[in-house]
Homo-oligomer: A and B are copies of this chain.
Amino acid sequence: MTGDNPGPGWLKHFPLLADLRRSSGRALAQDGVAGTITAILLIPQALAYALLAGLPPEVGLYASVLPVIVYALLGSSRVLAVGPVAVAAVMVSAALIPYAGDDPARYLTGALILSGLSGVILLAMAALKLGWLTHFISHPVLSGFTTGAALYIVATQLSGLTGIPVPRDAGTDGIVAALFGGRDRLNSETLVFGIGAMVLLFAARAPLLKLLTRLGMQRETAGSIGRTAPLLLVIACTVLSSVFDAHGRWGVAVVGEIPHGLPGLSLHFLAEDGWLQLLAPAAMIAIIGYVESISVAKALAFRRQEKIDPDRELLALGSTNVIAAIAGAMPVAGGFARSMVNYEAGARTQLAAVVTALWVALAALLFTGLLAPLPKAVLAAIIVVAVWQLVDFASLRHSWRYDRGDGAAQAATTVGVLVFGVETGLMIGAGLSLLLFLYRTSRPHIAVIGQVGDSEHFRNVLRHDVRTWPELLLLRIDETLYFANAPRVESELQAHIVEAKQPNDVVLVMSGVAYIDTSGLDVLEALEMALRQNGSRLHLAEVKGPVMDRLAGTDLLAALGRGHVHLSVHEAVAAIRG
């Protein structure tokens, strides 16, 4: 990563330019191939995810040009493929249905506001160093959320696949009820397009790969062929639909006229009202988008022995979404499947992303007019097949087996998304996992320890055969000492001391204490004073450097005196017993 000639200083702010400066022609060609393969995957997905968000399909294309180029310039990941993603799309739809009702213009403006707001939120997090807030989406909650959102997305696409109308604001239960209630309005031809497309798309995955490799084709080549399936399907179905006049003859819902080219940049959405109403959904879209992006980026960067700078990514994704708003597009993020395709196709720099964006722009300029007869059921099938990969119950089993609490939070998130919607489901999961963590840290382990043989080791009296002394009590605290466990630590220390029949000396072993907050300090000070009043003495041992630095100016240390703070338990015992 560090070339011999780093070039001018400002280059380091633009990893792409720095990369290009030292790339060979062959490497550039490799990026061109990877970018093309990614574009083939991206174009049909972009159209489909825009529909999923409730937006005109071209909005997905707009989200795949300028924003992709901006990320390519600013991002620290070499291979992250940015664009519309399914989970963000369904969050956009959940936010905009109550916001815009049946007004398509307001709906579109709302989407731009969501892009802009989520971008500004990410930029603000970068500026205020608040990236750590995004860490509060735990892996199980993210996984449970993704699974729930994917299942919900599948449910929303059943209407498009069958032609049975379903109210746009229906939850999972409403969708099921509407499908049952409207089963006599099933459109068979729509169903044929939808189910046919789904079967072909699923067949183009593992089965096709297996077939082609059995026929002697290389695994990579076979994979690339499989990835063209959605695009080929779109073309084939457009032709079929046009030839048979599926819309006119059978009433199959089709995409309809898509405007040519790309819209000009515009800030007109700034004039719209209702920003405050969209703030919370925008924050959630921003956080989920960022968390997804950064985890893909980190995983791929580490394989390539590169580093990802999380603050830098906040800045890059924030700018990307601000540009998305100005470019008339929906919110974007790094997609997992898309980035993997890009990486496996050999992308080495973000030049691949620029190539992808140019292909999308070309498609928008030249081919969108041809897509009018494309049945929406085909895009619904693309969505279903794409998000089906996100449904992950194995991860739930993994979490549940390792940690019941995490498993429960994960299951609650999935159920919460399906029953209460994406936003509430996410909040339920994040809240539960936070409570769980607080519950755990609120009950720290405290052990009475004693000397192992004649060694300098001291271990738990309950687990090891150790030596103790009646007038000397050694207590080890195995957790950071803070307000939520301070009352319990206080009770337990007091109980141990009362049980030990008021020993002359009490040594607190602090090897597991990474931090002591004011409440913890109060507990120690009260304990010291109470022991002193009863004629006993408190000692500390194995206090970590940063903890000691902080204690330096306190009444506790003044009361103890340096003589009662020992480097190790062994030294403490030696000093106390003479």
Contacts and interface: CB of A to CB of B under 8 A. Distances in A.
Interface of A: 132, 134-141, 294-295, 298-299, 301-303, 305-308, 310, 398-399, 401-403, 405-407, 433-434, 437-445, 463, 478-480, 482-488, 490-491, 494-495, 498, 502, 511-512, 514-515, 517-519, 521-522, 526, 530, 533-534, 544-546, 550, 553-554
Contacts of A398: 518
A96 to B, nearest CB: 30
A201 to B, nearest CB: 29
A482 B437 contact: yes
Given A139-B518, A437-B517, 8 more contacts: A132-B442, A138-B517, A140-B519, A294-B487, A298-B487, A298-B494, A402-B553, A445-B514
B399 A478 contact: no
B310 A139 contact: no
Cβ-closest 8 pairs across A and B: A138-B483, A406-B518, A139-B519, A132-B442, A135-B484, A399-B518, A138-B519, A139-B522
Nearest to A310: B491
Contacts of A441: 441, 480
Contact of A132 (B298, B488, B545): B488
Contacts of A485: 135
24 contacts: A135-B484, A135-B488, A136-B484, A138-B519, A139-B519, A139-B522, A140-B519, A302-B530, A303-B533, A305-B534, A402-B554, A403-B517, A403-B521, A403-B550, A405-B517, A406-B518, A406-B519, A407-B518, A433-B483, A437-B483, A441-B441, A441-B480, A463-B545, A479-B480
A460 to B, nearest CB: 8
Nearest to A483: B138
A483 B307 contact: no
A482 B526 CA distance: 31
A132 B439 contact: yes
A402 B521 contact: yes
A80 to B, nearest CB: 15
A184 B445 CA distance: 63
Given A132-B442, A463-B545, A402 B550 contact: yes
B135 A487 contact: yes
A406 to B, nearest CB: 4
Contacts of A399: 518
A137 B526 CA distance: 18
A291 B405 CA distance: 27
Contact of A440 (B294, B302, B515, B553): B515
A483 B436 CA distance: 11
A406 B517 contact: yes
A378 B130 CA distance: 52
B136 A438 contact: yes
Contacts of A443: 132
Contact of A135 (B303, B486, B495, B526): B486
Contacts of A494: 298, 301-302, 307
Contact of A298 (B303, B434, B478, B490): B490
B135 A483 contact: yes
A298 B495 CA distance: 11
A305 B502 contact: yes
A307 B434 CA distance: 31
A483 B545 contact: no
B512 A512 contact: yes
Contacts of A437: 482-484, 517
Contacts of A308: 491
Contacts of A488: 132, 135, 310
A392 to B, nearest CB: 13
Contacts of A303: 530, 533
Contacts of A141: 483
B136 A514 contact: no
A512 B547 CA distance: 14
Which of A310, A515, A545 neighbours the largest number of chain B CB atoms within 10 Å of its CB? Answer: A515
B442 A135 contact: yes
B518 A403 contact: yes
Contacts of A511: 511-512
Nearest to A519: B139
Contacts of A522: 139
A434 B437 CA distance: 12
A530 B511 CA distance: 31
Contacts of A440: 515
Contacts of A526: 299, 302
Nearest to A531: B302
B514 A479 contact: yes
